[in-house]
Structure 1
Amino acid sequence: MSASTWKYSTGILSSFYLEIQEWQRPDFIRVVHSMAPTLPHLSSLLRAFFSGAGKTWERFTSEFAPGGLIDEASLEEKELAWMLPTNDINEGALGSFRVMMRQQPQLSLSVQNAQAMYFRNETQAFMKQYFVKPEDLHTGEDQKREQEIIEHSHQRMAEKEATRKKRQQKRQEKDLWLEALELVLDETKVPGLKGEALKDMLDKFKVVGAPDLGNVNRRSKVGAIREALIVAIEKYNNGTWRIAGEDEGEGDESSDLGDDEPSALEPISDWEETDTED
């Protein structure tokens, strides 16, 4: 920087510029000039700084040159490529709070403030001396909030348990009702079943082990339920299946068969066939 860059009037700095541009902080330049007599290396330091920075400025500003990436980019591309020039958004008290809450979202504001004060004010010695109980680490607001959370959790658990018991009671009542319900084994009576009576009969058949009812439920159409029940009754009457726990041959002529002879309604199992062949 040449000495002609600085202009003086009657020994007092009146105006100053760098490459014909006004300084952004003329008061700062004035202070530096007032201290210049006490800074013998100021001129050499400035030369060294600008000599090194000049190379970096050329590298940083090359993309702004005519024909460069930024010069040829469209307005839309510039908007897409734009980013904050500094990391100020994550610095300072508010920035630190944003980063902390992103990493630990469960923290309360008072706890975050306490952590910031702890690291900034070096309060470890104070805590060792006065914070002797676990509850000392929590403020009254934190304890109140934690208690509210605990009470809410207990309330939710109690509501879920009450709902579970209510469902269990209904299921037990339904089981008792189905156990006492008389099974209809006459297909001619099925068309007379309507509404809940029809749906309960479907559940009854499923309880006693009637086959081929997996695709039919209480929400199925009435016609589909009646058709499935009629088919199940027909299969029962022709001996395709039996009610669980029902005596072998009950209600049919096979009751006259001997104990050692298999019923016509019960298929011979694999092991019985094997023993017979042996």
Structure 2
Amino acid sequence: MTDIYAHYNASLFGQEEPEDVRDFARAVAGMSTDHTEDQKKLCRIFEDWKKLCERERRGEAAFNSTSIGDDIHVVLWEEIKHNIRKAGGDMGWEALSDDEKRKREDEAYRRACARIGQEKIDAMTPEQRRYIKLFLWGGCCMHKEMNAVKGGNARMTAFWKAQGFVGPIKLVNKDNRVAAASGDSATKERVTEAAQGGAVKLCSLAGAVFAHKDKKKGQQDTLQIYMESIIGYMIRFPDTSNTRYQAFCEAAAELITKLDFYRRFLELVRNLKDKRTFTNMEKNVFDALFNVPTLTELCVLVLYSQSISHPYMREVRGMLKNLLELGGEHRRVLGHLQKLLDDRQLLLSPQASYETGALDGKPWERPDAFYAIQRLAPQLPHLKGALIAFLEGARDTWVHFTSEFEEGGKIASASASKKRRAFMKPTNDDNEGALRAYRVDVRDNPRLSIAQHNARKMYQKNNTSAFMQMHFTPAHHRSLMQQARDEEAAQLPAKSRAKQVAEWRRVDEEKHAGDARRGERAENKAAKEGPVVHVVDLPGLLVKPPTIPILKGYLNWYRAQGDTTIPKNARLDKKALVLDALIAAVERYNTLESEAASAEVVQDAQIEVEDDAMQGIKDDFSESEAGDY
């Protein structure tokens, strides 16, 4: 904003009627962002700036008034004396350059204005102070809904293990599948444990197979042709390759509704290949479409989206909705979630209806998906439990992400007129769309700067051409062209890039210095505790134990091998305790080594068979950015 005001004030219009950027800050009554901590911090910084601007401008008005009180002179004189003291006295002040003196005088003037302005604000009535301080924050409703789905899915993912049930199959990527096949049993277990599974992962992979963002990959063209031949029209599979609201829930609805179709389609894709084999990703999707726990999670995503997500978004995306007035809507969401938890049959009963199951009581967004779940439900024994877990997780997440509407909070305490004054759209769609437009613009014009992109977009959005035709004279055109030349000569984008590189170097040097400090501490610790080495002769060590520092050095070696059960050195203050801990660590390590050696003997006998099993598996896809192929 400072740059915008600077450009305006440099123009002929600004020279005739200058504007102050601080008046913009004073006029802002609220901000809407997503819910990340950096955005909340930005709002706090902006609010502090708004308060400072209010004080400074009111203080300036007092200085510029026809009647200046003695109190103003006192404040100004105190700031002048503060400047002189800070410079080291009169001689220090006189030694400063003229530019430095002017800079410090300007700072003193602004401090004096802020002090006088605060006195003027303190003299106001409480209602006047509340009016000028008004600044409300609201979180984007789309992000609330998206985070609620994440919270529900996290709780549902934990449900399987918590209840001791077999969960969704793990969808292992290509590289890890090869590593597991060529490794020992421990490697297989680690790979399987680290792999993801479940409905959300399936939807992500299905989006990459059925609607890949790179048109040269995936099966989207084949899918469209086959779909038209079977159902008579084409539908693009939901885009899960990008961060899009409700994309995973929509993908879940598509898969559940046309479950048999997508199973048959993947078989067709396999049979059309010369070697009749799936790629790793296709195999993952195909297997998951037959996996009961994964299908259970898909159904839960659909039930939640039909009962909460779609009705909620229909409400908040209505015409001229004010985010600040949606506190009641969010209380209704929490109330409806509790109603569904109290009576799961509102969604699971064969007689379930949108009139009682949907948040707004209106027809399901996708009735075909809801009825498909009704048909599948008898085959899904844990559908009820998974649904309860998801609803509980979603409810708790909604509570967390609607905290700005709490009773007694700033929004709840604001009057209707203040909410209208701080009007903000319920969603951050405009900014999300603008960011996407910038990404596309930069892709097409790699050397395009942010300033150039913003200038082009503002020129279009503000209908600047019409304004120029109506108000510009030849003098205005000359002034504007001169400003453009001056800005181009200043090489601002290059300076911005240089500033970024300088910051990168600062961070890099700071981390190198931190590494050096940690290395020095480790060396000092090693010198104090003895060298980090492996115990070779435990019986001999027990006959003639070394000093405690050397024993702790042995313990540090076993800690480095991953033994997390060894007590901290600070708790081992006696040699007997250190010896007991060391003996236990050696025994644990030797046991693991023996088990690994036994497993390796068995693994050697299986390698040839597994190598044969891997023959003929050919991945037709290129490597993906996420390593999923």
Structure number with higher helix proportion? 2
TM-score surpassing 0.5? no
Structure number with greater Rg is 1
Normalising by structure 1, we get a TM-score of 0.30
The answer to which structure, 1 or 2, has the higher relative contact order (CA under 8 A, 6+ apart) is 2
